[in-house]
Chains A and B, each alone.
Chain A
Amino acid sequence: MTLRELYTQIDGDYDQAIRVLRMEKLMDKHIRKLTKNSVVDKLLEAAEGMDPVQLFETAHAMKGVCGNLGLVRLSGMASDIAEEFRPGNQRKMTDEEVSRKIAEIRAQQKKTLDGIRRYEEA
């Protein structure tokens, strides 16, 4: 599996990522690191307590990390949660809608990590 194929499978933007890192070697190094990174897990943990401050901070961190790796779908989802809980913003979603979003993030995380593992095995 090529890196470009991986990015297609996990709804990432290969071109965006290569623009930042310039070399596939570096993209390869960093995408592999994601399997050991807890940035998405921390958001999922925060969602369990529905603490708005925690939700905002973890979503914000996840948005940055995923954005930098070109994982645009994950980054976009994190951005929705961050904006929902940004201090000073009016809430637009119900808690149920937030939970649904979190579930989507969990599923997208699984899809991404599974994809990366397959890429690693290949």
Chain B
Amino acid sequence: MINSKQIQCPQMILVVDDQELNRDLLGDILEEKYELLYAENGKEALEQMREHADKLSLVLLDLMMPVMSGMKVLETVREDEELRRIPIIVLTADRNAELKALQLGALDFITKPFDVREVILARVDRMIELSEGRQLISAAEHDQLTMLYTRNFFREYANRLHQYHPEMQLDAIVLNIEQFHSINALNGREFGDEVLRFIGKEIRSFLEETQGIACRTDADQFNIYCVSDGNYQAILDRFQTKVNMFSYTVSVRLRMGVRPWRKNVEPLLLFDQARAACNMIRGDYQNPLMIYDEDVQMREMLNRRLLNDLQMAVDKKQFHVYYQPKYDVRVSPPRLCSAEALVRWQHPNLGLISPGDFIPLFEGNGMISLVDSYVWDEAAGQIARWKEKYNFSLPISVNLSRADIFSLELEEKLIGLIKSNGLSFRDLKLEVTESAYTDNAHRLLEVVARLRELGFEIEMDDFGAGYSTLNMLSEMPIDVLKMDMKFVRNIEKSETDFRLVELILDIAKYLNLSVVAEGVETAGQLELLQNAGCDLVQGYYFSCPLPAEEFEKLIQHEVKIKRG
């Protein structure tokens, strides 16, 4: 083991005295142990301090000198953020100057005539040790990027505030950046750091106006423990407005979870709850503020239960796969051409749970792979059964989540499914969401390219729902673009939305991709999409997701048409 004393930086001392003899004397005392610099007056001393600010461990400063006095040096250093960290010991024969020098920031004195060699050395050693210790603590106390407290110090200070200042009634606020990993991936780590630094600065500025403390916990998560007037929306608006001004070109969206003060509740619990509230609105751009209350508490308990019950649900086959048809609308009447496999959870105690309640939850911690894998198995088996029963091949698309893409067994698993069910690669389509691209574009491109080489058809799901870039479209080797339902929703009423849909269709055509419009509910929407050149349509207009046995009727109908 290497002890900390062995990892010592070289220590440099600046000796400032106008008398050469005094400088030499100190030099002889200190040179064995320290690297030394010398200055004859205050002006030279400041120049040396600026030049070697990051290396200087200590300054020994005479007070009375020509050109610039030691007192003037102390005054200048006190106002200088960079120089202030360098400890200064004053050299003086004048007891009267001690108080003023201390008030100006000197840490100790060496009196003239100089004390015995060992005393001088011991005082210098001790002062450097103390100062380095203080600097280490200060570095550990503050997050260097945002200059807010680090997590451990924040926790300690929050506990002290709770314990010794219960009258302050501090709220717990957790602030988070939506899809920060995407911001980093698309704009570079440096930009991401700039965003964090900016938010740190704004939080510090906020805390100048109210009583409180703050820290950065995870990469993009900030905890604020502060007195507030209860207008949390105003606090979030303030931060969001500032962040908008910081970057006009990159959209940085904040979300905030709040746990208002409660008597005798420790900050640790308050922040757990504020964080739970904040996590609950992940990705919900319409509602970026969540205040922890009983509903949130219930939801949190439900989430815990769902996480807990997941493995049992897989083992006991509580997940049910539903199929939503996709229709080819280039022909009249539209024809069934494929389906998307969608999952529902029939919980023995909680009843039918919608995917919106558990998929984002499992995606958040990677457990979604268990559900995906379950759906792949079921869907592959179903394709095989229909193939055998109707001699009809209906491709079914399944989701590939971010966690699946990072799994090393992905290809093996999918190939195994195709082989064991006697399918062709074209029978199972794979849907990838665009957010996977921003996580680790390189890995995603690699995986998708290999899967395509095998023969799988790749669909990009929810295109336009998040941080889409044209760059991604040109790089990703995909076959089908699934236009997010939010584009379709208003095309009958909004000219702009319809123009956007036309634009996406044009781009897709240019890139030789088919387009599936999701969420089509009305005949009007269908007509507009058909006229604009959309290829396939999925949505309640044709059918809601159906259990296999009900979906089978659609197949029977299609088979009948086919056979004339």
Interface residues of A (CB under 8 A from B): 16, 19-22, 26, 29-30, 33-34, 37, 39, 57, 60-61, 63-65, 67-70, 75
Contacts and interface: CB of A to CB of B under 8 A. Distances in A.
Nearest to B20: A37
B340 interface: no
A33 B29 contact: no
A34 B25 CA distance: 12
B55 to A, nearest CB: 27
A63 to B, nearest CB: 6
A60 B21 contact: no
Interface stretch (B114-122, B326-334, B474-482): B114-122
A39 B19 CA distance: 8
Contact of B112 (A16, A26, A34, A68): A68
A67 B117 contact: no
B93 A30 contact: no
B93 A20 contact: no
Interface string B1-45: 000000000000000001111101100110000000000000000
A64 B25 CA distance: 12
Contacts of A30: 21, 24-25, 28
B113 A75 contact: yes
Query: Considering the complex of A and B, which 8 residue pairs feature the smallest CB-CB distances, nearest first?
Result: A67-B113, A64-B112, A19-B116, A20-B114, A22-B117, A68-B113, A65-B21, A26-B28
Interface of B: 18-22, 24-25, 28-29, 64, 93-94, 112-117, 120
21 contacts: A16-B113, A19-B116, A19-B117, A20-B25, A20-B115, A26-B28, A30-B25, A30-B28, A33-B21, A33-B24, A37-B21, A39-B21, A60-B64, A60-B94, A64-B19, A64-B93, A64-B113, A65-B19, A65-B22, A68-B21, A68-B114
A74 to B, nearest CB: 11
A38 to B, nearest CB: 10
A67 B93 CA distance: 9
Nearest to B63: A60
Given A70-B113, A75-B113, A21 B28 contact: yes
A19 B18 CA distance: 23
A28 B156 CA distance: 57
B25 A68 contact: yes
A105 to B, nearest CB: 17
Contacts of B24: 29-30, 33
A63 B19 contact: no
A21 to B, nearest CB: 6
Chain A CB count within 10 A is highest, among B25, B113, B117, for B113
Contacts of B64: 57, 60-61
A64 B17 CA distance: 11
A67 to B, nearest CB: 3
Nearest to A60: B64
A33 B21 CA distance: 8
